[in-house]
Amino acid sequence: MDLQRLVDTFEFLDNWEDRYQLLIDLGKDLPAFPEDERIEDNRVEGCTSNVWLVSRISEEEQPRLHFQADSDAFIVKGLVAILMKAYSGKTPQEILDLDIEQLFERLGLGQQLTPNRRDGFVAMVKQIRSRAHATAHA
């Protein structure tokens, strides 16, 4: 499911329980995260649950960042899946230009997530954007 289809699906669902289930399903569809990458250096600081994030840079003329992430919490895994759809495979500039807060609100997540989960989401975004910024200015 691409990002626009995801937004359309969220907008179609009219209650939080259905959106909550969709988040869980998105998390279940994440690719397997390598066990050897579940180390402290890959853990995202600021998340209440454990979240691990790794990235690699493609060796194209215009480099793209590819992310892989996982969490030990079902809802957070769904948030991770959304971020992977939004950011993975993009150029550093595309990552920096994306208004993730607008996407977050369009999905109706701003009003439904606990402050801790929202803080975790923000921490993941900061880490992704930081890696994009470092890549763009390397």
Active site residues: 47
Query: Cα-Cα-Cα-Cα dihedral of 84, 129, 131, 33, to 10°?
Result: -20
Q: Which of 64, 79, 86, 87 is nearest to 3 (CA)?
A: 86
In one-letter notation, the amino acid at residue 125 is V
Q: How far apart are CA 68 and CA 66, in angstroms?
A: 7
